Structure 1
Amino acid sequence: MFRRLAVLSFAVLLSACDTNRVNHDFDASRDFGAYRNWSWKEPGLQYRPDDPRIKSDLTEQRIRQAVSDQLDQRGLRQAKPGSKADVSVQTYLIVEDRQQLVSTNYGGGGWGGGPWSRGYWGGGGFNETRSYDYKVATLQIDLLDAKDGKLVWRGSTEQVMNTSQTDPGARDTAIRQTVAKVLEQYPPR
């Protein structure tokens, strides 16, 4: 029973982390209306760490397509091969190991007034602290001015990785939703 409570409290804690808080930053001195087209700054997707267990051509295809679709919806067109783009795009997929400590107090007394308690916290209970390891993935999208190479806009979000997600369609949907959420505030207003 108590073990289920501990697992449940950890699940609630992780679900709170899974809210996809999005961070944005941009150069306010730039005229974002002047940017009309874009191209990939290769490598278009960089992995951190550079781990073959994380790298996937399929993931890269999904991210590239989702970014392309979202930029198109925001009025930026992909530059034709060989032509100069206004903005260069580079993405990062960063995977980090994290750890959460969860403490649970099982039973115990309370402030007592009986002859044996002497006003101290009563005994009989115990604390248990468990460590839970999990992975957090951060997707970062950078837009750089193609003329000077300077970063003009950055958006990122992180979420707990769902290792049980094996359906390619679900992966595609998750990536599309994440990219849309990151680019939601582009262009800045």
Structure 2
Amino acid sequence: MKWWLIVASVVLVGCAGVPVDTDYNTDYDYAAVSSYAWLPRPEPGDDVKSAELYNDLSHQRVKAAVDQQFRARGYELVDSADDASVLVTYHLGLEDKTRIDDFGSWYTHFGYYPCYHCVGRPGFGTPYFHDDDLWVRQYQENTLIIDLVDPKTKQLLWRGSSKRNQPRLETPEERRLFVLETVAAILEQFPPGRQVSK
């Protein structure tokens, strides 16, 4: 078995829980896709967050992950857009988010809720009520969108996207694997109707 088939199998197992949305042109014959070419890389905007997202390292990771997935399907990477079945580009996003969880007052979970404040609740030694438990969590949501474009009409043919909570990524290898897992999950849905063996 070739090395990239082993890697693809491992990644597909890992990306089973990655959320993915797709949309596509239902009139296009996706079975005719045999090659692809890259559109010019996205350029960063003027803000700091865009510059952080669209850098050479992130571009190399996304491009390498897409190339690996397409190569595993037998799609040929070509230099000229005139020779390609489809054109490929991507978009990145990173948004600060806040999540508020309301676990209710003491009586809604008394007896089984893993309560860290129960020392001040009835039955725990102090005779007074606490207000509802509100847990506030701030996190970053990472978005990756992959677009496939018709080289002749320049119209969008297929779009796959994933929004994920951005984990703490401390090393280049962790960042590479996060991108690879996300790209694999998105392109698992291409072409439309593709059946992936489990």
Q: Into which bin does the TM-score normalised by the smaller protein fall?
A: 0.7 to 0.9
Shift of 1:92: 0.9
Residues 1:63 and 2:62 are matched in the alignment: yes
Conserved 8 A contact 2:44-2:53: no
| C-alpha distance in 2 between matches for 1:109 and 1:130 | 16
| C-alpha distance in 1 between matches for 2:66 and 2:22 | 16
Q: Find 1:143's aligned residue among 140, 148, 157.
A: 148
Shift of 1:108: 5.9
Q: Across the two proteins, how many residue pairs are aligned to each other?
A: 159
More helix by share: 2
SS in 2 for 1:53: helix
TM-score norm. by structure 2 comes to 0.70
Conserved 8 A contact 2:37-2:78: yes
SS in 2 for 1:52: helix
Query: What residue number does 1:16 align with?
Result: none
Shift of 1:102: 2.0
Shift of 1:175: 1.2
Conserved 8 A contact 1:62-1:175: yes
Q: Which has the larger radius of gyration?
A: 1
SS in 1 for 2:91: strand
Query: What residue number does 2:116 align with?
Result: none
Conserved 8 A contact 2:44-2:51: no
TM-score norm. by structure 1 comes to 0.73
Query: What residue number does 1:181 align with?
Result: 185
Superposition CA RMSD, Å: 2.8
Q: Which moved more, 1:150-159 or 1:72-81?
A: 72-81
Q: Which amino acid aligns with 1:139?
A: L
Give the alignment of 1:31-70 within 5 angstroms.
Answer: 31-44=29-42, 51-70=50-69
Conserved 8 A contact 1:109-1:124: no
Conserved 8 A contact 1:45-1:60: no
Give the alignment of 1:160-171 within 5 angstroms.
Answer: 160-163=165-168, 165-171=169-175
CA gap of 1:109–1:68, structure 2 versus 1, over 3 A, is: closer
Shift of 1:145: 0.7
More strand by share: 1
Q: Find 1:124's aligned residue among 125, 129, 140.
A: 129
Query: What residue number does 2:21 align with?
Result: 23
Query: Which stretches in structure 2 are left out of the alignment for 5+ residues?
Result: 1-16, 110-126, 194-198
Shift of 1:20: 1.8
Give the alignment of 1:147-162 within 5 angstroms.
Answer: 147-162=152-167
Query: Which stretches in structure 1 are left out of the alignment for 5+ residues?
Result: 1-18, 111-121
Identity %: 27
Shift of 1:83: 5.0
| C-alpha distance in 2 between matches for 1:107 and 1:137 | 35
Give the alignment of 1:4-19 within 5 angstroms.
Answer: 19=17
Q: Which amino acid aligns with 2:181?
A: Q
CA gap of 1:40–1:56, structure 2 versus 1, over 3 A, is: same
SS in 1 for 2:182: helix
Deviations 1:79-119 (A, max 9, x none): 13475322110111111111111234464699xxxxxxxxx
Conserved 8 A contact 2:42-2:54: no
